[in-house]
């Protein structure tokens, strides 16, 4: 039987204490790293969601297109546009958009927003045309340099479908927007 001296016991306890301190430092470091990663992801997500709101929601070219709209369309013509394009078109030309303007007081505003978003997101020209005709839309307003907001978040536009001349005809274009007539 060996006897542990008080000096050995003290040395042993110091070693155990140092092991606990090291383990606690590792735990604290892991917690700090996890919190930093979560904060970084959170800030990136917040920035991604807020950027469209901080940038202009309509462009100079979109504003300029309203002169063409007022001069070349009928007051009864209806437009596919996102909320901000619709507000611009209604405010500058009195033409009626599917969303934007006084759309929230129209019947079925949620369905209007869903269908408006689908017109922009679908890859199918026939589906987009069918939805436009369902709402008696005469024109489609296609912003080129920004995301659109139809009520459920900022989305990119799938633009190639509008080049299908069986369903749409390009009638106006500038660096920021294209306007297509529904065929």
Domain ranges for the chain: 1-54, 60-182
Res 1 pLDDT > 60 = no
Q: How far is CA 108 from the centre of its chain?
A: 22
Res 12 pLDDT > 70 = no
Could you tell me the pTM of the whole model? 0.72
Give the residues across from 178 on adjacent strands. 142, 173
**Spatial separation of the C-alpha atoms in residues 183 and 177, rounded to whole Å:** 19
The predicted pLDDT at position 131 comes to 97
The predicted pLDDT at position 39 comes to 73
**Spatial separation of the C-alpha atoms in residues 153 and 49, rounded to whole Å:** 9
Res 117 pLDDT > 90 = yes
Res 76 pLDDT > 80 = yes
Q: 41-45, 112-116, 147-151, 164-168 — which one is most confidently predicted on average?
A: 164-168
Res 104 pLDDT > 80 = no
User: Is-contact 91 121, C-beta < 8 A?
Assistant: no
Structure tokens at 181: 């007539």
Q: 16-30, 51-65, 133-147 — which one is most confidently predicted on average?
A: 133-147
């Amino acid at each position: 039987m060996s006897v542990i001296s008080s000096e050995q016991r003290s040395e042993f306890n110091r070693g155990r204490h140092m092991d606990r301190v090291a383990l606690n430092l590792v735990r604290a470091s892991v917690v700090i790293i996890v919190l930093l990663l979560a904060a970084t992801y959170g800030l990136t997500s917040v920035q991604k969601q807020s950027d469209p709101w901080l940038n202009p929601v309509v462009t100079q070219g979109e504003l300029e297109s309203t002169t063409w709209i007022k001069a070349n369309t009928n007051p009864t013509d209806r437009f596919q546009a996102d909320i901000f394009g619709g507000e611009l078109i209604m405010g500058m030309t009195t033409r009626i958009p599917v969303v934007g303007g006084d759309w929230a007081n129209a019947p079925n505003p949620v369905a209007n927003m869903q269908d408006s978003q689908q017109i922009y997101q679908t890859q199918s020209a026939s589906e987009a045309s069918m939805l436009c005709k369902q709402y008696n839309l005469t024109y489609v307003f296609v912003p080129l340099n920004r995301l659109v907001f139809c009520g459920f978040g900022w989305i990119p536009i799938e633009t190639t479908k509008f080049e299908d001349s069986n369903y749409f005809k390009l009638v106006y274009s500038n660096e920021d927007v294209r306007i297509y007539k529904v065929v």
